[in-house]
Structures are given as C-alpha cells and as structure tokens.
Amino acid sequence: MTGASRGIGRAIATKLAEEGARVVINYNSSSKEAEDLQRQIAEEGGESITYKADVSNSKDVGGLVDATMRKFGRVDILVNNAGIVFRKKILEATEEDWDRTMDVNLKSVFLCCKAVAPIMIGQKRGKIVNVSSISGVNGPPSAVEIPDYTASKAGVIGLTRALAVDLAPMVNVNVVCPGAVETDMLATMTEQARTARIAETPLRRFGRPEEIAAAVLFLASDDSDFVTGETLVVSGGRPVM
C-alpha cells in the first residue's frame, strides 16, 4: 500500500497485517517510520517489507510492484493512500503546488492501479481501495477551501468509478473518504480551524486513523465482494451539516 508509514496509512497497514495480509509498506521520505512499522508487524507475528518509492513516478511504481511480486508472488489488495496538501488558497497557490498535488494525490492512483491491474485480472480477483477525502464530495465550505487538494480528491473519486467499470468483473474498486482525522496533516491546522471542524461534525470529535482503517478493511475483504464503484464516507457526519 502507498503512503503506509504514518497516520492513516500506518493504521491501515497495521489492520491488514493483523488480519493476515502480507503488507508492502511504501514510503517516500519516512524511512524510520516505515522500518518501525515493519518491526511492529513482525513482533505481532505478521510479514511485511518496506519499499521506498515516489508513487507519482511510473518507474518507481514499476519497481514497487516488481518487488512485491518477487517477494509474495501476487497482489490481492492495493490501497492507494499517498497524499499531500499545501494549505494555500487560489491566490497564494503556485503552479508547482498544483502540479505536485495532482501528481501525488491523483496521478499516483492512476499509475498504481494501471501497474497492478494486469496482475489482478490474471488472478481473476483483486481489491483496490483508494483513499480520497470529504473534500472530494459534498462537504462543508471548510472542506473545500484548498482548490488543488479538493480537485485532486474529487479526481480520485471519479477515477475510482471509472476503474470499477473498466476492471469489472475481476477487480473491485472502491474509495474511502475520511473527514477530519487526528494525523500529522491535521496537526498543521490552527486551533481555530480545528474548533470549527469539530463544530461542523455531528459526532463532535475528530476521527481516529483506526476508524478509517476499519472501513478500508471492509472494502479489502471478502465481505465486500458485491461492492464496487462505491464511495464510503467516514467523517462523523460532517458532510451533512
């Protein structure tokens, strides 16, 4: 899975390993965190490898998939979780901000799905779970205040729907849209912004990474075999406000 070393990605990798999956921990810069997670999984009786790759780069993605096949011989689940955000509104954002956001948040999903699709089709089975955001759906104004991030996350939802049709019936493709979750990304917000987001959330708290991981686990498991092209919002009710 991509972006696996920290935050939501780490929780997803941990949950999948707990359920018996052999996990590929992709990271780009957080090598220490990735190695710590690998040790944690091993201590709990699981199996994993780490692999450094910029998943917005097709060559790196190819290396990631090749390493996975050499080690495990198959790819049953792909979780696309890598993501970045530049907290700038349109007048402050640069072309470079836009390009990098699209590359990491959206292009990486395309590249990783394209790389594993032939493998999953050959196996006649596979689960792809993409991680978007309520920024990509009908969220409140505060969820769509960063134009490049919002556009990239909406793109992930559209791509998921297209791939669900394109890769059926062999591969299920779904998307999870978290609301505000206690991660390093959320920690960059001001206290005023944090308070406003809690006020918008009917459950009156932030989500926990483990709660997003539980949703991903469902979509990666046999329990979701008749689910594809769906958007699962996990946000404490925030989009309905």
Q: How far is CA 17 from the centre of its chain?
A: 16
Cα 145 from Cα 50, distance rounded (Å): 34
Q: Which residues are catalytic?
A: 149
Checking phi first, is residue 124 left (phi over 0); if not, alpha (psi -120 to 50) or beta? left
Q: Which of 126-135, 188-197, 226-235 has the lowest mean pLDDT?
A: 188-197
Torsion angle, CA of 82/87/91/94, rounded to 10 degrees? -40
Mean of the pLDDT values across residues 197-220? 96
Whether pLDDT at 188 is above 90: no
- CATH for 92: 3.40.50.720
The per-type count for the chain, helices as H runs and strands as E runs, is 9, 6
Residue-level pLDDT at 128: 98
Residue-level pLDDT at 241: 44
In 3-state terms, what secondary structure has residue 22?
A: coil
pTM of the model: 0.95
For residue 32, tell me if it sits in a domain. Answer: no
For residue 117, tell me if it sits in a domain. Answer: yes
Number of domains in the chain: 1
Residue 210, H or E segment: helix 209-220
Residue-level pLDDT at 240: 53
Whether pLDDT at 79 is above 60: yes
Instruction: Tell me the residue range of the domain where 137 lies.
Output: 73-240
Q: What is the mean pLDDT of the chain?
A: 95
Mean of the pLDDT values across residues 182-202? 87
Residue-level pLDDT at 187: 77
> φ and ψ at 124, to 5 degrees?
65, 30
For residue 52, tell me if it sits in a domain. Answer: no
Q: Which of 156, 188, 190 is nearest to 174 (CA)?
A: 156
Residue 162, H or E segment: helix 147-166
Cα 13 from Cα 6, distance rounded (Å): 10
Q: Which of 116-125, 150-159, 176-185, 212-221 has the lowest mean pLDDT?
A: 176-185
Contact 163/193 with Cβ under 8 angstroms? no
What are 140-170's pLDDT values in tens digits? Answer: 888 898 999 999 999 999 999 999 999 999 9
What are 7-38's pLDDT values in tens digits? Answer: 999 999 999 999 999 999 999 988 999 999 99
Whether pLDDT at 4 is above 60: yes
Mean of the pLDDT values across residues 215-240? 95
Mean of the pLDDT values across residues 70-97? 96
For residue 35, tell me if it sits in a domain. Answer: no
For residue 26, tell me if it sits in a domain. Answer: no
Contact 214/206 with Cβ under 8 angstroms? no
For residue 21, tell me if it sits in a domain. Answer: no
For residue 57, tell me if it sits in a domain. Answer: no
Residue-level pLDDT at 143: 87
For residue 217, tell me if it sits in a domain. Answer: yes
